[in-house]
Amino acid sequence: MPKELLLQVTPEIAANESLLKDYLSKQIKVSVKDIQHISILKRSIDARQKAIKINLKINIFLQGENFVEQKIELPEYKDVSTSQEVIVIGAGPAGLFAALQLIELGLKPIVIERGKDVRGRRRDLKAINVDHIVNEDSNYCFGEGGAGTYSDGKLYTRSKKRGDIDRILKLLVAFGATPDILVEAHPHIGTNKLPQIIQDIREKIIEMGGKVLFETRVTDILVKNNEVQGVVNQNGDTIVANKIILATGHSARDIFELLDRKKIFIEAKPFALGVRAEHPQSLIDQIQYSCDYRGEHLPPAPYSIVKQVNGRGMYSFCMCPGGVIAPCATSPGEVVTNGWSPSKRDQATANSGIVIELKLEDFKPFAKFGALAGMEFQKSIEQNAWHLAGETQKVPAQRMIDFTQNKVSKEIPKTSYVPGTTSVEMGQVFPGFLSQILREGFSEFGKSMKGYLTNEAILHAPESRTSSPVRIPRDEITLEHLQIKGLYPCGEGAGYAGGIISAAIDGEKCALKIAESLLR
């Protein structure tokens, strides 16, 4: 039987198998030659002390112990070309993993995606970055793979109660992700590698008899006697099914408006909103690792910080070490920021959303919009930022200390945000109470992370698409909409997930509930 050990070693030892074997031979008092194989089960960084350590959970196989490398393979999917059809609206992680689960259960998914496939999206991403042209159906939020495809690919979820995280990670590995995602404490695929994985998932769905329809926007959901009958697309074509998984993501405002117009019950939901802060990665490394240079064996340092300011949580969100800031508007006349990192996280800058918890009472000025009040609040800030920055995809920007002192920055250095920046006093972008919390919060951040509060850091506004501003209520047991039979609100857009992993898990859950309902 292999021996399982928990270790704390230096980064150099963790990165070098020969050094690790030498270390282990002394720890367990065996010859290096007797160590047949080392399997790393989990890996994390402990940077709490000046001497940084790597935590390892490993299995050691000695001579004579049988080690067989386990290959992670896909489930045996069924041919569902003639099976009962289920409509899946949205080809983000919730929709794609719902489709795979439906196939596994013997049902035929019809995946409807308003945007283009992963390759086709690239032209539209270039257009928004270089030409400031926003395609409402194809952008960083909409298109194959959803918002995660071209905005980082983080696979970490704090919630362990949502479902089987390892199952999702293993499926991603089977579709081509590096096995390291099964080991790392904060796994990450990278924006440069995700598109091929997403394409392979789509090809598997089609190979097994499912359908994937791109550039197909749902304009109506057909309902009769409070039961879904199908959907209508932008060309007026009807697709019939009495089971629909609604997995459209947190930015599909037209879907929220459609549901509200049809009097299908939805409700306003609190979310978080703020700015995206960019520092030199070397500075974050110095702060987090307490060193002048992190060396070749440590990854670019992330950070996570939370403060209570005036009774509100202010915290880092979607932190991207060695990453860049991207334009994530989904309509002309607005600007939105987000961040992403390539798989190597090798860019010179680090960025993070720094956001503040909102409350339903904050949306009172938009009360006439009912359940869409939070969405209209969000939209008003994005549109205001667009006007202030010059009515292009440039964003309002300010040096961090200047912001805390209400001073317009004399000049903004070139940042990773390709469309460019406009020097603006950031207090003009947000309602007064939010600006005040942000100012006080950054000062508090600076006390906790010495060196964080600096004019080397550039704030970009707004970071506003942290989660859905709407919840689509569903039954806790059946996962069906409370009012409409056969409609399964799913993932981030419905208010039931917060990232790739949790959205994928929720997609699988909805598919399982549909299969259960068909057996009743």
Between CA 485 and CA 488 the distance in angstroms is 8
Between CA 131 and CA 376 the distance in angstroms is 27
Looking at residue 460, what DSSP letter applies?
A: E
Query: For the chain, how big is the Rg over CA atoms in Å?
Result: 24
- Dmax (CA) for the chain in angstroms is 75
Q: Give residue 153's pLDDT.
A: 63
Between CA 336 and CA 383 the distance in angstroms is 9
3-state secondary structure 12-40: HHHHCHHHHHHHHHHHHCCCHHHEEEEEE
Q: What is the pLDDT of residues 41-76, one digit of tens each?
A: 999 999 888 889 999 999 999 988 888 888 899 999
Task: Tell me the mean pLDDT in the region 419-437.
Answer: 97
Comparing C-alpha atoms, which of 202, 216, 205, 263 is closest to residue 89? 216
Q: What is the pLDDT of residues 192-238, one digit of tens each?
A: 788 899 999 999 999 999 999 999 999 999 999 999 999 999 999 99
Q: What is the DSSP string of 114-158?
A: SS--HHHHHHHHHIIIII-PPBTTBSSSSSTTGGGTTS--B---S
Q: What is the pLDDT of residues 353-382, one digit of tens each?
A: 999 999 999 999 999 999 999 999 999 999
Least confident piece of the model among 128-132, 188-192, 391-395? 188-192
354 CB neighbour count, 10 Å cutoff: 24
Any idea of the CA torsion for 266, 384, 191, 255, to the nearest 10 degrees? 20
Q: What is the pLDDT of residues 99-115, one digit of tens each?
A: 999 999 999 999 999 99
Contact 91, 493 (CB under 8 A): no
Q: Give residue 343's pLDDT.
A: 81
Confidence of residue 122 (pLDDT cuts 50, 70, 90): very high
Contact 56, 6 (CB under 8 A): yes
3-state secondary structure 247-261: CCCCCCHHHHHHHHH
pTM flag (> 0.85): yes
Distance of CA 230 to the CA centre of its chain: 29
Comparing C-alpha atoms, which of 460, 463, 335, 328 is closest to residue 392? 335
> Helix or strand or coil: residue 335?
coil
- Residue-range domains of the chain with CATH: 3-62 (3.30.70.2700), 85-267+471-519 (3.50.50.60), 272-463 (no CATH)
| Backbone phi, psi, residue 234, to 5° | -65, -20
Between CA 262 and CA 312 the distance in angstroms is 35
Between CA 17 and CA 498 the distance in angstroms is 36
What's the angle, vertex CA 466, arms to CA 464 and CA 469, rounded to 5? 80
Task: Tell me the mean pLDDT in the region 21-30.
Answer: 94
CA distances from 102 to 97, 171, 212, 231, 456 (A): 8, 15, 14, 19, 50
| Backbone phi, psi, residue 54, to 5° | -110, 125
Between CA 339 and CA 318 the distance in angstroms is 7
Q: Is the pLDDT of residue 160 over 90?
A: no
Q: Give residue 155's pLDDT.
A: 78
- Residue 293 burial (C-beta neighbours within 10 Å; 0-12, 13-18, 19+): exposed
**165-174 vs 93-104: helix crossing angle, rounded to 10:** 90
- CB-side exposure of 237: number of CA atoms within 13 Å? 7
Looking at residue 369, what DSSP letter applies?
A: G
Task: Give me 361's structure tokens.
Answer: 């009472």
Between CA 197 and CA 426 the distance in angstroms is 39
